[in-house]
A and B are shown apart, each in its own frame.
Chain A
Amino acid sequence: MVTIVFFVAGITAILASVAVVSVPSIFTAALSLVVSFVAIAVLYITLDADFLAAAQFMVYVGGIAVLILFAVMMTGQVNRASRSNRLTIIVGITGILAFTALAFLINNTAWPISSFEGILPPMVGDASADSNIYLADILFGKYLLTFELAGVLLLVATIAALVIARER
């Protein structure tokens, strides 16, 4: 089951991402980006990260994708083609080479896989609440200062975005 979900979501994510960087219409690219985000949220669920899947939906699909769609519409670029620059072929070859090298390294590294099995919350079930409770415990305990700093960062960014985008 997890295998099928992984392959469907993974192939969807890759195809949608390729569409983002290759379709001429920017509006289509933004919609493909939404598909890619949703596929990655599904992949988080296969990794037992329920909260992150929900956060991915809210932050990326609900926030970032909508912001980007607004920018596409406000700049009147909906029908204009997205051109590529002179580097396309060189960057394409570099990307393929980088992926080959990464895949080779990933396959040939002895990853320290944990031998722990079993107690992790299953994909659906009663125990899935436990990991979220633990996550909340460490987020509001051990990492509380970082959490507060992230809030300050959001406030600063809101003010900065308003100041930069203000009509003068």
Chain B
Amino acid sequence: MIELQHYLILAAALFCVGFFGAISRKNMIVILMSIEIMLNAINLSIVAFSRFVVPLEMVGHIFVIFIFTVAAVEVAVALAILLAMYSRRNTVEATDMDLMKW
């Protein structure tokens, strides 16, 4: 039988994979994808908590719906920044974006 712990461990594994990708990659698109994986892991753990701890209130579902919204907003704005940066400097490597680096 699948318990809360299984879902939480799966979410932790996904989060760590996303963390690894977000820190260790140079390409900004891959970094964005890794952030999406981390957000998905968090959503999964929230829904699991909602299902197993307070199954009748569904408050976790409300949380996840708003995280969906914010994730969509985040990706739209981040890709707009990425395209603007690409048209000006012709690169999508995060290490090349050092305009504000001291």
Contacts and interface: CB of A to CB of B under 8 A. Distances in A.
Interface of A: 2-3, 6, 10, 13-14, 17-18, 20-21, 26, 29-30, 33, 36-37, 40, 43-44, 46-49, 51-52, 55-56, 59-60, 63-64, 67-68, 70-72, 74-75, 77, 82-85, 87-88, 91-92, 94-96, 98-99, 102-103, 106-107, 111-114, 116, 120, 131, 134-135, 138-139, 143, 146, 150, 153-154, 157-158, 160-162, 164-165, 167
A68 B55 contact: no
B2 interface: yes
Interface of B: 1-10, 12-21, 23-27, 29-30, 32-34, 36-37, 40, 43-44, 47-48, 50-56, 58, 61-62, 64-66, 68-73, 75-77, 79-84, 86-87, 92-93, 95
Contact of A21 (B20, B66, B68, B92): B20
B-side binding surface: helix, strand, loop or mixed?
helix
| 4 residue pairs, one from A and one from B, having the closest CB atoms | A21-B21, A157-B73, A161-B80, A102-B12
Nearest to B79: A71
Contacts, number: 217
